[in-house]
Amino acid sequence: MNIRGAGKYFLTAGIDAGDNIFLSRRIALVSTLLTMTCCLFLFFTFYNFNRGVHLIAVLDFAGFLASSAAIWTLYVRKNHEAAINICSGSLFLFFLALASANQNNRYGLIWTIFFPIFVIFLKGGRTGLILTGLYYMILIPMSFMGIGEWQSGAWDLTSSIRFSFASLVATYSAYFSEATIELTFRELQKTRDREKMYIEELESLSVTDQLTGLYNRRFFDNMTPKQLNRAWRAEMDLVFFLMDVDCFKQYNDTYGHQAGDGVLQNIGKLMKSSFQRGDDMTFRIGGEEFAGVIVTRKIGRAMEQIEHLRRQLMDLKIPHKGNSAAGVVTASFGVSIMTGGEEFFSVKTLYERADKALYKAKENGRNRIVVSYSESDPPQNIN
């Protein structure tokens, strides 16, 4: 792992926060504060032990163990919330114990002001403020009760008031800073979420036919080779069909292009409702021509879906005087099938087979399905 990779791992603890920048910041802050806290506790453990202040050294060592446990929870268990809770709880107890044991000897009480800063940054503005309030509900009365006792009697009422005021200022500064940062990051996250939504919408528009809501020719050219390759590798069947509205030019000439668009929209709705599985993909590939790709292990079921689509369109009974096949809007289908385990062939071959079958369906009277099973066998009319 290079230096840059090590630095990234230190800040993220190997936790993937995805696009959540607020969570990313929190994890980076937790890992940094925990490391600093652990190192400081270890340093003061040896420092106070060498000075002969054994009780404070023991407290420092307890803080070091708690910080180490939090670091282990963060980096090994990948649980940043548990790490924050361990660190916050241990610091809460440590600073209260330090204030009670040290009794402001050599101004040791000043270290207790760091708790609000740590806990507000770790737990966030609101929760950190609540914990800080509980903390000072114990510490400030303890400070007041220490008048005439702490620091060999040099601790007086003025000292207690100064300490209380300094604590409130430190708390307010930490809360205001964190609240401002939280607000900024949340607004930034909202902006990024909106941008992501807009990008997804643009991507959807780039692969979707606006009139029918089906996938467009561009997406067809991109996805059909992938579906064909996937079916071949998994030794599954692939059913590909072309669908063409019968006598559509005459329909537009008779009823107008707006009515023609309505027909295409109805076909789009029928195709969406008929092919809903994740392996079913339907496209409008140009004008009145549509296509579908079905990866399946049940060819019969796929053919039933196509036949159901043909009947649904006819059952809409959209008048079409120019269609000699039925007097209503109908469609013809050409189907090409690649069976599982069959020798792999190209999308071009798949398309040409279906196109020949479609031509045969038109030639045989329209409003029917013709299937091409292989290159050697002629297209077969199935209805």
Please state at what angle helix 21-50 crosses helix 114-123, rounded to 10 degrees. Answer: 150
Q: pLDDT tens, position by position, for the chain (383 residues)?
A: 556 677 778 778 888 777 777 788 888 888 998 999 999 999 999 999 999 989 999 999 999 999 999 999 999 999 989 999 999 999 999 999 999 999 998 888 899 999 998 899 888 888 999 999 999 999 999 999 999 989 888 899 999 999 999 999 989 998 998 888 888 878 887 877 787 776 666 565 578 888 998 999 888 888 888 888 888 888 888 999 999 999 999 999 999 999 999 999 999 999 998 887 777 899 999 889 999 999 988 889 999 999 999 999 999 999 999 888 788 999 999 999 988 766 667 888 889 999 999 999 999 889 999 998 655 455 555 55
Is position 140 within any domain?
yes
- 112: in domain: yes
Distances (CA, A) of 317 to 273, 320, 326, 332: 18, 9, 9, 16
Same domain, 128 and 10: yes
Task: Specify if 209 maps to a domain.
Answer: no
Same domain, 109 and 163: yes
Measured between its terminal Cα atoms, the distance across the chain in Å is 65
Burial of residue 164 (CB within 10 Å: 0-12, 13-18, 19+) is middle
User: Which residue has 């809409």 as its token pair?
Assistant: 316
Range of the domain at 42: 3-195
- 368 and 254 both lie in a single domain: yes
CATH code of residue 339: 3.30.70.270
338 lies in the same domain as 226: yes
Q: What single letter denotes the amino acid at residue 11?
A: L
In the prediction, which pLDDT does 376 show?
A: 47
User: Is residue 200, in this structure, part of any structural domain at all?
Assistant: no
Please report, for residues 200, 212, 213, the alpha-carbon distance to residue 206 in angstroms, rounded to integers and kept in the order given.
10, 14, 11
Token pair recorded at residue 371: 């299937």
Instruction: Return the pLDDT at 276.
Output: 78
Q: Same domain, yes or no, for 44 and 178?
A: yes
Kind of pairing between the strands at 280-286 and 380-381:
unpaired
For 274, residues 6+ apart whose C-beta sits below 8 A from its C-beta are: 305, 308, 309, 312
Place of tokens 């007086």: 156
Residues 228, 187 within the same domain: no
Q: How far apart are CA 222 and CA 260, in angstroms?
A: 28
Closest residue by Cα to residue 304 from 269, 280, 329: 280
Copy the structure tokens of residue 128.
Answer: 């950190």
DSSP state of 344: P
User: Which SS3 state, helix, strand or coil, does residue 294 take?
Assistant: strand
Name the residues annotated as catalytic. 288
Q: Do residues 169 and 244 share a domain?
A: no
The pTM (predicted TM-score) of the whole model is 0.55
Strands 280-286 and 289-296: antiparallel
Helix intervals (H) in 208-317: 217-233, 248-255, 257-274, 299-315
What are 116's two structure tokens? 């609000």
Strand order through the sheet with 369-372: 280-286, 289-296, 237-245, 331-338, 369-372, 380-381
CA distances from 92 to 125, 166, 244 (A): 16, 18, 74
Confirm whether 72 is domain-assigned. yes
With contact defined as beta carbons under 8 Å apart, do 115 and 92 qualify? Answer: yes
pLDDT at 23: 80
Residue type, 232: W
Asked whether residue 208 is domain-assigned, the answer is no
Say which DSSP state 323 is in: -
Is there a domain that residue 178 lies in? yes
62, 146: one domain: yes
Do 83 and 156 fall into the same domain?
A: yes
| 186 & 228 share domain | no
Look at residue 207 and tell me if it is in a domain. Answer: no
